[in-house]
Structure 1
């Protein structure tokens, strides 16, 4: 047995024999060349020729003839054990692929900042998951800068980011613009005015100014704005997330820089007062980004098609 296995391993190239193994497998199952020819829709001579070619390649005899047809030799039984396993695996693979196609099974890896995840991504994901319940979603919550780097390194499929200065090899699908504003409660502003008698021009110098930390692209954008217009700040409080900025502003801790769209309710019901600025802050564009010229999975293609259909026109 061991000698026969060694002979099989030393035989011809498997790549050359792949089509022959299907013939071998069919003949071994049917035990009859005529039946195998009918099942494979080829002639009996073609079946016999294929078997001879495989036997020559392996250097063994695989079948012996009898009155009822053919039967496997000892060497044929050894080969059949492995070939049967291989074809069973192929059938399982085909069945799994069919299930993937029918159910839309897939994996989608998204990079996004915590702020954009809550206020922008979640509404899209909620509807997408409802339409594609068999897609596994992985969320990597990092700063926009880190998300962009992960995208370039092909470690995520798609990112929700602010539009970068350069779109080299990146497709960017805009979802619209966001606007940065400064807000505070009316009570905080009234008390600040009593303490400092500050006016609008020196409010930033006297107030506690709450900004996101320096790793955040929004913070970098606001720092550039303050520097460009020579706006001085004396009491700066760094906060890690937009949600905390909003909550700290609600309890009257200071003036917070937030995204206007994310505090629309608070502005409408009077919880926040928007601070007028001597110079406007230019709006920023946000959207989904992915690498161009990339072979994307069906899950990624489905998500791109989904948000394209859903996003505001």
Structure 2
């Protein structure tokens, strides 16, 4: 095939130049070598490709048919070479990341903001899904990197912690006052007592945070009178702010609301153990150069912040 490709290249150049001498100069080979190559290609194809005259050469009808196809092929090769040149010069590439909508907004976006400024020619694809769905996507190879919560099913993954997160229970002061009016507590109620009589707002059961919180509530012997399930952390926060119930949220995501007093934090007898979120990818899997560039960028950020 390699030798045939060389013959086609000579054929293509002769057809473009319309004479053998011009093609010889362009290809830096002798005219007899070109004539021999054309003859060989004609023998291989069992057809005449050029009509020769004192003025040069012109394509036969079958030569025209072949030239149109060969021209498309060499144009495609040139376009491929040009694309590779741009990839190398501009640092072009594609990176696919799997992440929950909550972690995307509160954790990933600051990293992406700086990464895209430094690498403007890398195309980013974001798949917003649960941690477990992201882990499945990593195994299938449909995403390069996942931003996930640390869990018990990570034996196939390399995990780089980004930050620790703390789950807390929040509501408005007005909601607590109204709850205490509806329920007669003997003495000052504990946070567990309040949750047991409140509308407790949690993420849906497919979410790793929900599963983590179910284990915590069970271990503390706390069960809510009513549970309202939602699909995103933002909705939990918004619902809490309109007095709909007590919401389980991540502390760093409501810091502004806590500082302003718009939401208050319930003091649990036993705090929910902190957990980690981080970037993950499959062990020993083929790792694209673009994904490697992103992880190098993350490591540099960590070093710059004194985390490592």
Higher mean Cα deviation, 247-256 or 297-306? 297-306
Unaligned stretches of 5+ residues in structure 1? 1-13
Name the SS for the 1:196 alignment partner.
Answer: coil
Look up the match of 1:253: 244
Rounded to whole Å, the distance in 2 between the matches of 1:167 and 1:181 is: 25
Rounded to whole Å, the distance in 2 between the matches of 1:260 and 1:74 is: 76
Look up the match of 1:57: 44
2:17 aligns with one of 20, 24, 30: 30
**Residue 32 to residue 258, structure 1, CA distance change in 2 (3 Å):** same
Deviation at 1:187, TM superposition (A): 3.6
Look up the match of 1:264: 255
TM-score by length of structure 1 reads: 0.82
Q: What do residues 160-211 of structure 1 show as CA deviations (whole Å, max 9, x unaligned)?
A: 2112323344332221211111123334334444543352253332333221
For residues 32-181 of structure 1, what are the structure 2 equivalents within 5 Å?
32-181=19-168
Deviation at 1:134, TM superposition (A): 3.9
Deviation at 1:266, TM superposition (A): 2.0
Higher mean Cα deviation, 37-46 or 49-58? 37-46
Q: What do residues 33-78 of structure 1 show as CA deviations (whole Å, max 9, x unaligned)?
A: 4443332233444434322322221122334554455544444343
Rounded to whole Å, the distance in 2 between the matches of 1:300 and 1:92 is: 25
Deviation at 1:83, TM superposition (A): 1.8
Rounded to whole Å, the distance in 2 between the matches of 1:62 and 1:191 is: 92
Name the SS for the 2:256 alignment partner.
Answer: helix
**Residue 235 to residue 78, structure 1, CA distance change in 2 (3 Å):** closer
Deviation at 1:295, TM superposition (A): 4.0
Rounded to whole Å, the distance in 2 between the matches of 1:70 and 1:187 is: 92
Deviation at 1:215, TM superposition (A): 1.6
Rounded to whole Å, the distance in 2 between the matches of 1:254 and 1:111 is: 31
For residues 141-290 of structure 1, what are the structure 2 equivalents within 5 Å?
141-193=128-180, 195-197=183-185, 198-200=188-190, 201-290=192-281
Unaligned stretches of 5+ residues in structure 2? none
Rounded to whole Å, the distance in 2 between the matches of 1:37 and 1:131 is: 46
Higher mean Cα deviation, 152-161 or 303-312? 303-312
**Residue 259 to residue 34, structure 1, CA distance change in 2 (3 Å):** same
**Residue 265 to residue 293, structure 1, CA distance change in 2 (3 Å):** same
Root mean square deviation, CA, Å: 2.8
TM-score by length of structure 2 reads: 0.83
